[in-house]
Amino acid sequence: MLGLRKIIHIDMDAFYASVEQRDHPELRGKAIAVGWDSDRGVLTTASYEARKYGVGSAMSSVIAKKKCPHLIFIPPNFEKYRKISQEIRAIFYTYTNLVEPLSLDEAFLDVTHNKKGNPSATLIAKEIREAIKKETGLTASAGISINKFLAKIASDINKPNGQKTIPPENVGAFIDGLDVKKFFGVGKVTCQKMYRLGIFTGKDLKSKSLGFLTQHFGKTGQHYYDIARGMDMSPVKAHRIPKSLSAESTFSKNLSSEVYMLKHLQDIAEAVQKRLQKNHLAGKTVTLKIKYSDFNIQTRSKTLTDYIASKELILDTVKELLYQERLRESVRLLGIAVSNFNNQEVKEELPEKKKEIYMQLELEF
Ligand code: TTP
Ligand code: MG
């Protein structure tokens, strides 16, 4: 049992619609859709009250209104959803750095070794859902198992506001009984093809040889062969946090006056500011990159005592760097980078003692 992973898939319930119902109490308990009420509009999602009428994500507004004439349309507010998404992710990071967001409202977490030293992924999922509820007022569902494939399927089972664990000892039986249409990664077309081949459940899939599956599904055959056996080794790929954010500009005419350069640097600093904002980052180190007309590149850096993210503060430091030394010759490109961010991940070192505990409790899910 050593080497077994503990993976959680978290998925917010009717995400955009729940946010709108949270912020507009008069919409609670009502059939609402987030999207534009226009001939060409498409819904992003719908509240559970609307889903009873068959209204759902990616449906055209026209069809949705036919199915549910009293449907209330709410225009989307992506800035708000992104902010809440950040809040949820911040909760995930208190448990593990191995977080792989799939979209604004769902993510995989590998909690095999977690920051709280909690051996039970089931309890962690419960804690996370409670924390999400407390901090955002919204509900989430979770799936817990030994790999991403199973965790993803599991999070749908007790949705909304529920969770489901498929512990290692139940994996075989669970997959055997699973309709292939529920398999993550099996779309409508593949599903129909499987049905035609007499493959309706995981058990049917497992009964087919690798040769048979590759003959009918090409390279993906191997994948189906593996997942029918509960094997999905794909790691939780942590969202890579950039080490620096930058912007640069090449000039149509080489510049030799610092005054002209400063004008361009304002725009470049603004672009850097935007990137920092988008990533919710601030940095301590500012670097000015100068490419001369002979294509030689020079960089000048300064590290500050405080984290900065605004155009003005970036520009102050850039000015200092620009005047720090005389320019050798005319300049064809200028760039600004900000690095040394305020989010540097804490390295996860597992003390020896804790490792032992993990091994003992390996079966605890
Ligand atoms: P989902 O998790 O697929 O849907 P959901 O959270 O609304 O509902 P469920 O309770 O079944 O999880 O997607 C998350 C958000 O992403 C959703 O609220 C709106 C947005 N979205 C789109 O904009 N277009 C789409 O086609 C889908 C599926 C989702
Ligand atoms: Mg969701």
Please tell us whether the domain made up of 170-233 is placed in CATH 1.10.150.20: yes
pLDDT mean over 45-70: 97
pLDDT band of 221, cuts 50, 70, 90:
very high
- The CB of 16 under 6 Å from ligand 1? The reply is yes
Residue 111 confidence (pLDDT) above 80: yes
pLDDT mean over 273-291: 91
Tell me whether strands 163-165 and 140-145 are parallel, antiparallel or unpaired: parallel
Residue 350 confidence (pLDDT) above 70: no
Lowest-confidence region among 116-130, 215-229, 233-247, 340-354 = 340-354
State in Å: Cα 169 to ligand 1 middle: 31
The CATH architecture assigned to 244-341 reads: 2-Layer Sandwich (3.30)
- The CB of 11 under 6 Å from ligand 1? The reply is yes
Matching CATH number, 7-13+79-168, of 3.10.20.90, 3.10.28.10, 3.30.70.270, 3.40.109.10: 3.30.70.270
- The CB of 103 under 6 Å from ligand 1? The reply is yes
State in Å: Cα 143 to ligand 1 middle: 17
For the 15-77 domain, the top CATH level (class) is: alpha beta
Catalytic amino acids? 106
Q: Which ligand is nearest to the CA of 85?
A: 1
Closest CA to ligand 1's atom 4: 14
Residue 139 confidence (pLDDT) above 60: yes
pLDDT mean over 78-103: 94
Residue 100 confidence (pLDDT) above 70: yes
Contacts (Cβ under 8 Å, ≥6 apart) of 63: none
pLDDT mean over 236-241: 80
State in Å: Cα 29 to ligand 1 middle: 19
Closest CA to ligand 1's atom 28: 57
pLDDT mean over 261-270: 96
Planar angle of CA 7, 11, 13, nearest 5 degrees: 150
Mean pLDDT, rounded, of the chain = 92
Indicate which atom in ligand 1 lies nearest the CA of residue 12.
Answer: 6
Matching residue, tokens 């672009």: 271
Task: Give the chain's radius of gyration (CA, Å).
Answer: 26
pLDDT mean over 306-326: 95
Residue 1 confidence (pLDDT) above 70: no
pLDDT band of 341, cuts 50, 70, 90:
confident
Q: Which ligand is nearest to the CA of 160?
A: 1
The ranges assigned to domains in the chain are 7-13+79-168, 15-77, 170-233, 244-341
With beta carbons less than 8 A apart as the criterion, state whether 275 and 244 touch: no
- The CB of 159 under 6 Å from ligand 1? The reply is yes
Question: Which residue among 42, 51, 57, 85 is best mutated to probe the pocket of ligand 1, counting the most ligand atoms within 8 A of its Cβ?
Answer: 57
Residue 353 confidence (pLDDT) above 80: no
Q: Which residues are 288's β-sheet partners?
A: 300, 336
pLDDT mean over 108-114: 97
pLDDT band of 2, cuts 50, 70, 90:
low
Distances in Å between the alpha carbon of 289 and those of 180, 250, 306?
A: 55, 11, 21
With beta carbons less than 8 A apart as the criterion, state whether 179 and 194 touch: no
User: Do the first three CATH levels of 15-77 and 170-233 match, i.e. the same topology?
Assistant: no
